[in-house]
Structures are given as C-alpha cells and as structure tokens.
Amino acid sequence: MYLITVCGNLLIILATISDSHLHTPMYFFLSNLSFVDICFTSTTVPKMLVNIQTQSKVITYAGCITQMFFFLIFGALDDFLLSVMAYDRYVAICHPLHYTVIMNPWLCGKLVLASWIMCVPYSLLHTFMALRLSFCTHMEIPHFFCELNQVVHLACSDTFLNDIVIYFAFVLLGGVPLIGILYSYCKIVSSIHAISSAQGRYKAFSTCVSHLSVVFLFYCTSMGVYLSAGATHSSHSSAAASVMYTVVTPMLNPFIYSLRNRDIKRALKIVFGVKL
C-alpha cells in the first residue's frame, strides 16, 4: 500500500510536469497535494514497516517528537490544499470568464505558500508545547505512530494548557478550511442549478466529482479517528481509524483523480512513452 501511494502520487506529479495542457491552477494544486500525500504517508508508514519487520516497537524521544512535527505539518497542509482546490473550482464554475485573470500563477503560488506559512508555525507550536512536558521512562504509546493527543496524555506533568491549545488549533485549522469548502460548494451547486442545459450541468459537476470524493474521504476518515476513540475509548479502534486517513486515503487519491480524468490519462501515456 505504501509503494502504491508513493508511485501513484509520483505519477500524478510527473504527468502534471510533462504535459503542458496540465499547466493549469487545478493540476498545480493537485501536484502539490500529491507531494504532500507522499510526505504525509512517509512520516509514519516506513517506521511502522520497520517495526513489523524487526518485531521492535521502540522509538526514541527525539524520533517521536520529529515524527509528530512532520505529521502535523503535512496533515494540516492536506486540509488547506483541499480548501484551496475548492476555491479554485468555485472560481472556475461561478466566474468562468474571469477564471484565468483571478487564478493567475502569482495567486496560485501565494495560496500554496500561505498554506505552508500557516502550517509550519502550527506544527512548531504543538511540538514546543509537547517538549515542555515531562515523561516517565519506558512509556508505551497506544498507537502505531506518535499521535499528538496520545503522546500528550501520557505525560507525567500537567497537560491542561496543551489540551486547550490542541482543541483551539483543531477548531481553527480544521473548522475554517471545512467551512470554506462547504461555502464554495454551496455557491457551486447554486451556479450549476442555474445552467439551463443538462449537458452543461453534468460537465460542470463532473469537474468537481474527484475533489468532492477526496474531501469526503479525508474528512470522514480523520473525524472517524476522534469519533471512534470518543465513542469506544479504545486505542485499538482509534489506531485502526488512523490507518484510513494516513495510509488508505493518500493511496486512493491518485486513482480518484485519474480514473475519470482524460487529461491525466493522456499525460500518463506521455510519461510512459505511449503514442497517442
């Protein structure tokens, strides 16, 4: 599954670079999402595979903090890039005549840069907050990676401030992008309903299907982690749900974006040297 994730997302990036027809905002954001998905999965899965092979579940304190830092960055980036892609679809459908003017390369670059600028301090804040905690020796994390919530709750010192920061950051960085996505699609749906021809409505909606599928998959699986943990109070069910959004979702993204996308299929043929 890890190899499929890396190879699939890498092919999306190569296809976007190799085909000039894909040098558009939508595929620029998609290639960035593919890169983030590779990094997101690579923060946890390689260590998990080593643990399975060596039958050892030990991770150093420094390794745990480092893993947590990068996991938070790329997880938040996934969230922000999905909201940026929703805005791109909103402009394309609701303001098609001004699309090339609004979604110019300068704005696209700034949107991706802004996502990085917001995610890095977010991850640093949680990391430094975790560093201030004191831990007892030989602690066992009931998860397959150093998940922030699990690590914080194993601390021997007071975690009240950490919990406040976690909940505040979760609402801010999780809720705001989701509200942006929902608002964008509310506008998109109203614009699609205003299109007179059925073919026009189908064409407009088909450009959003892939993104909607990825958004649904990402948010349902990530929220499932906290809902399952809260409902069953089981670390095993929480870890199982985490596998969905840390492993399964990044693996499925390339398939979702390529199976019904003629442009991606054509670009992949160019990558593999197949004559069109």
Averaged pLDDT, 114-124? 94
- For the chain, give the percent of residues with pLDDT over 70: 93
Dihedral sign for Cα 175, 228, 154, 59, please: negative
Averaged pLDDT, 251-272? 79
Say which residues have a Cβ less than 8 Å from residue 205's Cβ, sequence separation at least 6: 192
pLDDT over threshold 50, residue 232: no
State how far the Cα of 145 lies from the Cα of 69, in Å rounded to an integer.
12
Fold of the domain spanning 23-221: Rhopdopsin 7-helix transmembrane proteins (1.20.1070)
10 Å Cβ neighbour count for 105? 11
Say how many Å lie between the first and final Cα of the chain, rounded. Answer: 30
Averaged pLDDT, 201-230? 75
DSSP tag of 21: G
225: amino acid identity, one letter: V
- Range in 112-116, 163-167, 221-225, 244-248 the model is least confident about: 221-225
Q: What is the pLDDT of residue 129?
A: 93
Dihedral sign for Cα 102, 105, 107, 108, please: positive
State how far the Cα of 76 lies from the Cα of 123, in Å rounded to an integer.
9
For residue range 141-188, what is the model confidence (pLDDT) as tens digits? 888 899 888 889 889 888 899 989 988 888 888 788 889 999 999 999
State how far the Cα of 139 lies from the Cα of 147, in Å rounded to an integer.
14
> Beta-strand (E) ranges in 69-186?
none
CB 37 within 8 A of CB 78: yes
Vertex 260 angle, CA 251 and 5, to 5°: 10
Mean pLDDT of the chain: 86
Vertex 265 angle, CA 264 and 266, to 5°: 90
CB 274 within 8 A of CB 22: no
* Residue with token string 């098609």: 96
- For the chain, give the percent of residues with pLDDT over 90: 49
pLDDT over threshold 80, residue 23: yes
State how far the Cα of 165 lies from the Cα of 239, in Å rounded to an integer.
22
Output the six-digit token pair for 1. Answer: 């599954």
- Range in 21-25, 58-62, 218-222, 230-234 the model is least confident about: 230-234
| Residue 165, Ramachandran bin (φ over 0: left; ψ between -120 and 50: alpha; else beta) | alpha
CB 133 within 8 A of CB 162: yes
For residue range 46-90, what is the model confidence (pLDDT) as tens digits? 999 999 999 888 999 999 999 999 999 999 999 999 999 999 999
Max mean pLDDT among 9-18, 132-141, 213-222 falls in: 9-18
**Inter-axis angle of helices 198-232 and 235-243, to 10 degrees?**
160
Averaged pLDDT, 202-227? 77
Q: What is the pLDDT of residue 217?
A: 82
pLDDT over threshold 80, residue 275: no
The pLDDT-based confidence of 276 (bands split at 50, 70, 90) is low
